[in-house]
Amino acid sequence: MNQDQLKREVAQAALRQIPEGQIIGVGTGSTVNFFIDALADIRHRVRATVSSSERSTERLRAHGFEVLDLNAVTSVPVYVDGADEIDPAGAMIKGGGGALTREKILAEVAERFICIVDASKLVPRLGRFPLPVEVVPMARELVRRRLVALGGAPRLREGFVTDNGNQILDVHGLDIDDPRALETRINQIPGVVTVGLFAHRGADRALVGTPDGVDERSFG
């Protein structure tokens, strides 16, 4: 099975986690694209959606889903999203697709975060994937210096502007032995909008696509 087949399989498995008649939070990325396409088959069971990016919103609307403004919503029972890495505690690196800020907002609102990944995203320790940090453009060089002081090697994601009008620094070489502490530390740098570490609010459940089927894991 290739990676796309694993993504498709895990996206299909996520349909079993969708409660009847509720608002569903939808993330961003290639795995989520498979999920959105699969969700279209049970559209009649979905009241409406909230989305973490303009790209996902467009795809959802193309399938006929209503996409609500999060400010009009008080409860999101389930949020389904991918990850760039996930560790044994359910902490993740996210933001490879650049949607980390809206993803973190939806993760915070959601009662349950279901992470859908293929097995290549499982890691014993976070940090091989460069950590995305969304920054206000005028603070980019300040944030870059602070990230270097933390031991990282930040690189500007060239030609990329987030849905919020900001830039992304991808930080290579960080030693992430305490994801929660590092998330707090980077969040405190003025000009950082969001760090793509999802440790304080990690996944509640992961569905992992493997060649032998979908493996399900729950986290404390």
Catalytic residues: 103
Cβ 98 to ligand 5RP, closest distance in Å?
6
Contact 10, 31 (CB under 8 A): yes
Q: How many CB atoms lie within 10 A of CB 56?
A: 27
The torsion of the CA quartet 167, 200, 108, 17, rounded to 10 degrees, works out to 110
Cβ 203 to ligand 5RP, closest distance in Å?
11
CB-nearer residue toward ligand 5RP: 21 or 165: 165
Q: What is the chain's length?
A: 220
Interaction site with ligand 5RP (CB under 6 A): 27-31, 81-84, 94-100, 103
CB-nearer residue toward ligand 5RP: 45 or 215: 215
Cβ 27 to ligand 5RP, closest distance in Å?
5
List of residues 6+ apart from 166 with CB closer than 8 A: 101, 134, 135, 136, 137, 193
CB-nearer residue toward ligand 5RP: 162 or 191: 162
Of 167, 191, 180, 163, residue with least CA distance to 102: 163
101: helix, coil or strand?
Answer: helix
Cβ 34 to ligand 5RP, closest distance in Å?
8
The residue assigned the tokens 């996520």 is 14
CB-nearer residue toward ligand 5RP: 105 or 142: 105
